[in-house]
Structure 1
Amino acid sequence: MHSWEVFIVEDDIRIAEINRKFVEKVPGFSVCGIALNEDEAKEQIAILKPDLVLLDIFFPDMNGLDFLRWIRSEFRGIEVIMVTAATEVDTLKHALSDGVFDYIVKPVIFQRFKDTLLNFHEYKKSILQLSADKEINQNLIDSILKREKAEIEPSYLPKGIDPITLEKVISMLTQYKKGYTAEVLGERIGTSRTTARRYLEYLVSEQKATADISYGGVGRPERIYKYGNG
C-alpha cells in the first residue's frame, strides 16, 4: 500500500494525539507533523507538503474554513478532512463547497475515521492511475467521482434533527448490536439524554430503529434502542 503523510491542525494537543494514534492504526498512513495554531500550520505545511490535512474549525487565532481556503489556493494537491465539533449545516455546506474531502464530527469514532482514510487511499490511487494511463475510460472516471460529497439538505428532516448528529447516532447504533439507552448514547456522542432520545425516537418513527423495554439491574424499566426494524 502507498504510504500517505498526514498533517494534523488542532489546537487541543490531547485531541491531536488521539487523531495521531488513529491515523497510525491505519496501514499506509503516518503523521508527519502536528500544528496547534495558524502560523505553525502554514509554515510546516509549506515545508512538508503532506498528502492529507486533518483540520479543526474552531481556533483562538483563526477559522478552519478560512484555513481550508488557504490550502486550496496554495496547495491544490493536498486534500483536507475536517475533524470538528461544528454541526451547523451552513458550516458543512461551506466546507463541501470549498472542496473538503470529508467531514467528521467529534468525538471521532475510529471505524468511521478508518473508512475515510481507506476511501482517501482508493481515491488517490485512482488519481495516480491517470498519470500512468494515456487514455481514460468511463469506469475509471466513475471510480474517481463515486465519492458522494453532495450537500446535505435539511428539508427532509424535522425541526430539531441535525443531519450530522443523526449520522453519528446511526453509526453508534450500527456498531453496537445490543443497543443503547438514551442516557448511555448521550454520553457516548456528547449530548444530553433528552437530545439522544429525540434522535432515537425519530429513528423509531421512521422504522429505522426499534425500542424494547428492559428492566436492567435495578428493576427500573428502560428503553433499549437498536438499529433496524427488527
Structure 2
Amino acid sequence: MHSWEVFIVEDDIRIAEINRRFVEKIEGFSVCGVALTEEEAKEQIAILQPDLVLLDIYFPDMNGLDLLRWMRSEFRGVEVIMVTAATEVNTLKHALDDGIFDYIVKPVIFQRFKDALLHFSEYKKSIHQLSADKEVNQNVIDSIIKREKSEVIPQSLPKGIDPITLDKVLTMLSNHKKGFTADDLGQLIGASRTTARRYLEYLVSEQKVRADITYGGVGRPERIYQYGV
C-alpha cells in the first residue's frame, strides 16, 4: 500500500505530538517531519517535499497563511490542510483562495481528522488513475472534485451562528447517528450547553436536524438531537 507522507507545522509541541499520533493511527499515512518555526518549515518542506502539510495559522514568528502562499508558489503539488484555532471568516476565505484541501478547527476531533485524510487519499488516487488517460468526461470530473461535506453552509446566517462552528456541529452529527444532547455536544466542541443548544435549535429550524424527547436515568426529559429529519 502507498504511504502518504505528512509534514506537520505547529508551534505548540504538545499539539504537534497529538497530530502526529492521529496521523499514525490512520492506515496509509506516516509523518515525515515536524517544524515549529517558519525557518524549519521552509527548509524541511523544500527537502522532503511531502504529499500533505498540516498547517497552523498562529505562530510567534509568522502567519501560517504566508507560509501557505509560499508553498503555493514553490511547491504546488503539496496539498495543505489547515489545523488551527482561527475561526475568522476572512482567514477561512484567504485559506480557500490559496487552495487548501481542508480546514479543521481545534480542538481536533479524531473522526473529522481521519475523514479529511482519507478524503485526501481518495482524491490523490483518483488523480493518479487518470495519468494514463488523455481525456475525461464530466462524470469523472465531478467524482474527483466533489467534496464529501454533508451540507453546504448558507452564506447568510443569523447573529450568534458562526459558519465554521456550524460546519463542525453538522459534521459531528452526521458522523454520530445516535445523536447528542446539548450537554454532550458542548463538551465535544468546547462550548457551553447554551451555545451548543443555540446551534442545534438553529439546525432544527432549518430542518437539517431533528430533536426527540427521551427520559434520562432519573426520569427527566432530555432532547436528543440527530442528523436528518
What TM-score, normalized to structure 2?
Answer: 0.88
Which runs of 5 or more residues in structure 1 are unaligned? none
**Contact map agreement 1:154 1:162 (CA 8 A) in 2:** no
Q: Residues 11-34 of structure 1, C-alpha deviation per residue, up to 9 Å, x if partnerless?
A: 122221221122112221110011
The equivalences for 1:27-46 within 5 A come to: 27-46=27-46
Runs of 4+ in 1 over 6 A off after TM superposition: none
Q: How far is the alpha carbon of 1:88 from its aligned partner?
A: 1.9
Work out whether residues 7 and 50 of structure 2, in 8 Å CA contact, stay in contact via their aligned partners in 1: yes
Contact in 2 for aligned 1:166/1:199 (Cα 8 Å)? yes
Could you tell me which residue of structure 1 aligns to residue 197 of structure 2?
Answer: 197
Deviation at 1:183, TM superposition (A): 2.3
Shift of 1:215: 4.7
Question: Which position in structure 1 is the counterpart of 2:209?
Answer: 209
1:87 aligns with 2:87: yes
Q: Deviations over 1:155-202 (max 9, x none)?
A: 332222122211211222233334322222111101122211110111
Larger deviation, residues 111-120 vs 24-33: 111-120
Q: Note if contact 2:153-2:167 (Cα within 8 Å) is conserved in structure 1.
A: no
Partner of 2:71: 71
Aligned to 1:128: 128
Q: Does 1:111 align with 2:149?
A: no
Residue identity in the other structure for 1:224: I
The 2-side partners of 1:202 and 1:146 are apart by 26
RMSD of equivalent CA atoms = 2.3
The CA distance in 2 between the partners of 1:147 and 1:173, in whole Å, is: 17
Which shifted more, 96-105 or 182-191?
Answer: 182-191
The 8 Å contact of residues 212 and 224 in structure 2, kept in 1 or not, is answered as: yes
Q: Which amino acid aligns with 1:137?
A: V
Identity percentage of aligned residues: 80
Q: Is the 8 A contact 1:12 1:36 kept in 2?
A: yes
Matched residues, number: 226
| 1:132–1:15 CA distance, 2 compared to 1 (3 A) | same
1:218 Cα deviation from its structure 2 partner: 4.6
Residue 160 of structure 1 aligns with an amino acid whose one-letter code is: G
- Mapping of residues 137-216 of structure 1, within 5 Å: 137-138=136-137, 139-147=139-147, 155-216=155-216
Q: In structure 1, how many angstroms separate the alpha carbons of the residues matched to 2:194 and 2:49?
A: 44
Letter in 2 for 1:159: K
8 A contact 1:89–1:154 mirrored in 2? no
